[in-house]
């Protein structure tokens, strides 16, 4: 139980950090996603990911809609690994 709450808080803090530290989400959409082929939808995708990550993390912390929340977070992880971390490390 403690590990899962820590994992959920990590996801939540990652998303909230992007919102409260300036223009990180818009920059990620414009300067990264649009340049790798998601133009002109990069900003919308970035905000969609952040909003879904926040909502699914809150649902997991509350132990509600666990299956769909896990599916959302797994997809975010896979997408992030493929588009960002596989190349950048």
Predicted pLDDT of residue 87? 78
How open is the CA angle 21-16-75, to the nearest 5 degrees? Answer: 125
pLDDT at 74 over 80: yes
pLDDT at 1 over 60: no
Q: How does pLDDT run across 13-67, given as a tens digit for each residue?
A: 878 888 888 778 999 999 999 999 999 999 999 999 999 999 999 998 888 999 9
CB 46 within 8 A of CB 33: yes
User: Domain residues of the chain, as ranges?
Assistant: 2-88
Predicted pLDDT of residue 86? 82
First to last CA, the chain: 29
d(CA 14, CA 12): 5
d(CA 15, CA 9): 10
Predicted pLDDT of residue 89? 65
Please count the other Cβ atoms lying within 10 Å of the Cβ belonging to residue 25: 18
């Amino acid at each position: 139980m403690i590990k899962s709450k820590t994992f959920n808080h990590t996801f939540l803090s990652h998303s909230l950090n992007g919102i409260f530290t300036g223009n990180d989400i818009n920059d990620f959409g414009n300067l990264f996603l649009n340049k790798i082929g998601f133009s002109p939808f990069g900003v919308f995708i970035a905000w969609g990911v952040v909003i879904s990550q926040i909502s699914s993390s809150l649902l997991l912390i509350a132990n509600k809609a666990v299956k769909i929340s896990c599916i959302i977070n797994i997809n975010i992880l896979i997408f992030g690994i493929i588009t960002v971390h596989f190349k950048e490390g």
